[in-house]
Structure 1
Amino acid sequence: MALEPVLVNLADPGGSSYLRVALTLRVADVEEGKDAKAKEEKLKEDKAASDAVASVRDITLMVLGRQTADGLLAADGKEHLKADLKKAFAEHNADLKVMDVFFTDFLVQR
């Protein structure tokens, strides 16, 4: 699941720092092994996929908005952020099994 780039203000004092990030999630395929579905079921599936993307973007924005520039730029900052995101996805959307988080763009501006 590839997300469009996200731009968010960071939780630094003064509110002048921001993060632009694009990420891709590796998710477990819960539909694997099932037969082809009817057209009506495919439409329902497309709506569920759209809802899942909206949910993932919402959770991502919540987690990112709590970060600070110093925390993200620390040696292990990105690894901590990945762990925070995976934990938040598991808590808020149990149907979506996120296996890995990959940053495809990552820019912190102070």
Structure 2
Amino acid sequence: MAEDQSEDILEEKQGSETKKLLLIIIIISVVFLSIMGAGFYILWNRVSPPDPQIAQEESKIKEVEKAKSEIRPIYSLDTFIVNLADRGATRYLRVTMDLELSSDETKAEIENRLPQIRDTILTIVPAKSSKEITTIEGKKALRDEIMDKLNSFLKDGSVTNIYFTEFVIQ
């Protein structure tokens, strides 16, 4: 009987040692696999190229922030008074604009091309009806159209924004 008890105790010790060894192996395996997974994740994100759309959006955001932080030269134009393209009623627009320029060199070109600039504006604005330009979207569209047309013939720089300092429809 004493032998049976000693064998049972010996088997229990060996069983508990085997269980401990198995538990240690499992823990080491889980830790190892976790480290491998984290390493693979980090490596994959560094090696894979960034999404081009995200990169493009980030560059646009940086350009806008840079443009907002820079103080650019402003060229003030004389007031324009033009008839609008309304049917049935005679309406006119009195508008004064300031042009934000990309550089000081552009200011000299604006002064040299002033007749062409005034002609361009006097061609675009009378083609609009009061209904088109009374909304915020209409004013933005008018601003963008004028800016695109002016930038199409400027060589030394560009108009980066147009500010309406007076905008009265009667």
For normalisation by structure 2, the TM-score amounts to: 0.50
Letter in 2 for 1:108: I
Q: How far off is 1:10 after superposition?
A: 0.6
Unaligned runs of 5+ in 1: 33-44
* Alignment equivalent of 1:83, drawn from 137, 144, 156: 144
Bigger fraction of residues in strand: 1
Cα deviations by residue, 1:42-100 (Å, 9 ceiling, x for unpaired):
xxx96x55432222111111110111100011241111111111111123x23251100
Equivalence for 2:154: 94
Equivalence for 2:84: 10
- Secondary structure of the corresponding residue to residue 76 of structure 1: helix
Unaligned runs of 5+ in 2: 1-74
- Secondary structure of the corresponding residue to residue 76 of structure 2: coil
Equivalence for 1:29: 103
Where has structure 1 moved over 3 Å in runs of 4 or more? none
Alignment CA distance shift 1:85-1:13 (3 Å): same
Alignment identity in percent? 25
CA distance in 2 between partners of 1:75 and 1:24 (Å): 18
CA distance in 1 between partners of 2:110 and 2:138 (Å): 30
Bigger fraction of residues in helix: 2
CA distance in 1 between partners of 2:110 and 2:91 (Å): 32
Q: How far off is 1:30 after superposition?
A: 5.9
| The structure with more radius of gyration | 2
- Could you say which structure has the greater relative contact order, defined with CA pairs below 8 angstroms and 6 or more residues apart? 1
Q: CA RMSD in A?
A: 2.3
For normalisation by structure 1, the TM-score amounts to: 0.75
